[in-house]
Chain A
Amino acid sequence: MASALARTTYNVFFRRSSNYLVGIFAGAFAFEIAFDSAADRLWDMANKGRQWKDIRSKYIQAADSEPADDEE
């Protein structure tokens, strides 16, 4: 009835509460990274050339050992 994948998922993540909890935490962590980087990518695409990081290279002098904290 259940496909092999569904069965494995059930056995690994849902069967034991401890696994379930770890799964939730790991899932949240992975989701946040994936979601944030996707959102940032889209945002930077929509705002190409408008943000400081896009024009920064024009003003940074080579001789400057600029600390990185003038990023946004």
Chain B
Amino acid sequence: MFTRAAYTTATRAAFRAPTFAQARNASTQAANGAFGADRKAAAAWFAKAAAGSAILGYGISNYVVTDDRLAPVTKAVAESMTALQKKAAEYGIEMPFTVAHAFSTADHGLHPPHYPWDHFKPWKTYDHASIRRGFQVYKEVCSACHSMEYIHYRNLVGVSHTESEAKELAAEYEYEDGPNDKGEMFMRPGKLTDPMPSPYPNEEAARAANGGAYPPDLSCIARARHGEEDYIFALLLGYCDPPAGVNVREGLHYNPYFPGGAIAMARAIYDEVVEYEDGTPNNASQLAKDVSTFLSWASYPEHDERKKMGLKTLAISAMLLGLSVWWKRFKWSYIKTRKIVYKPGKFDEV
């Protein structure tokens, strides 16, 4: 049977080993760290290792595994992969290899450049003076063909226009309302709650007037296109002659930023087509910038408030993070500094 006698001298000797605390100290506070006796030695070790790997890497890539030597190998690998894929396809097995696709900017539209919009910075609001000018461009140019049925006059109040200005703008148009007490629909001047007037009564009429192409509603156009305001800006100014060999159908216009290259919208933005009231130069790029800012605002009306809230959230979270780190150290300090000492007791040997 298993009795206390199983405590042999060896067992007891093991328990008489240095205390746990001493053992822990021995392992963590030994004179030699993993990379040398002290910080200086460790730094030297890392410096030597880095220099050595740099020299070795440079030498290998330039003198041993050169492109010339690598090319036949990659070619052979690629060919055998293709052969394998073909063979597998004969048996109806599809290999999970990537197939190269030709990507053509003519089909997908040229990627717009990233323009340095101020409101792309995390701490910047929209430039509301620019929104106001952009609305003017929309009203005087784009609204001839494009509706913005989700933007109402009241949305401009406190963003780009005063209330009385917005009321005046709305009253420039007549809206159908009713029925009145005789059951008839009637026309009345617009109110703050009315949307931007639509140039066409319905999509069919819009298409009929634009050679079959539908000028999309611009309320959410920035959200609805890759590249957002970068794309709109590039599109508005991107018109040019088609490259040699590209034929653009009658009624379409060449624009490399538009997928396919042929767009039914003619160039709408030219120098000085809009007269600004605030003295801003009205060259084509300024007009395009302002209308793109306006359309971006229309898609993200919550943008300014969202950024402000986001930054506040980050600030509070940073404070809470600091607090929780302190709290953790506070709670753990007791555990980290205690010392466990084992004192073997006296055994009554049986």
Contact = CB atoms under 8 A, between A and B. Distances in A.
A30 interface: no
A55 B311 contact: no
Nearest to A61: B164
Interface string B137-169: 000000000000000000001111111110000
B225 to A, nearest CB: 25
Contacts of A54: 128
Interface string A8-52: 000000000000000000000000000110010001001101111
Given A39-B312, A43-B308, A51 B162 contact: no
A9 to B, nearest CB: 17
B162 A47 contact: no
B159 A52 contact: yes
A72 B118 CA distance: 20
A36 B308 CA distance: 10
B124 A64 contact: no
Nearest to A59: B162
Contact of B164 (A39, A51, A64, A72): A64
Contacts of A50: 118, 124-129
A39 B128 contact: no
A59 B304 contact: no
A67 B128 contact: no
A55 B162 contact: no
A64 B162 contact: yes
A49 B126 CA distance: 10
Contacts, number: 58
Contacts of B124: 46-47, 50
Contact of A70 (B123, B158, B316): B158
A60 B125 CA distance: 22
Contact of B162 (A39, A49, A60, A72): A60
Given A35-B316, A43-B308, A52-B160, A59 B128 contact: no
A35 B127 CA distance: 25
A55 B123 CA distance: 19
B129 A56 contact: no
A47 B125 contact: yes
Interface in B294-318: 304, 308, 311-312, 315-316
B162 A56 contact: yes
Contacts of B123: 43, 46-47
Contacts of A69: 158, 163
B133 to A, nearest CB: 11
Interface string B118-136: 1000011111110010000
Given A50-B124, A50-B126, A58-B278, A66 B159 contact: no
A54 B304 CA distance: 14
Contacts of B304: 51, 72
The 9 A-B pairs with the shortest beta carbon distances in the complex, nearest first, are A70-B163, A70-B158, A52-B128, A47-B125, A50-B127, A46-B123, A70-B157, A55-B129, A39-B312
Interface of B: 118, 123-129, 132, 157-165, 278, 304, 308, 311-312, 315-316
Interface of A: 35-36, 39, 43, 46-47, 49-52, 54-56, 58-61, 64, 66-67, 69-72
25 contacts: A35-B315, A39-B308, A39-B311, A43-B123, A43-B308, A43-B311, A47-B123, A49-B129, A50-B126, A50-B127, A50-B128, A50-B129, A51-B125, A52-B128, A52-B158, A54-B128, A55-B132, A59-B161, A59-B162, A60-B162, A66-B163, A69-B158, A70-B157, A70-B162, A72-B304
Given A52-B160, A72-B159, 14 more contacts: A35-B312, A35-B316, A36-B312, A39-B308, A46-B124, A50-B124, A50-B127, A51-B125, A52-B158, A55-B128, A55-B129, A64-B164, A66-B162, A72-B158
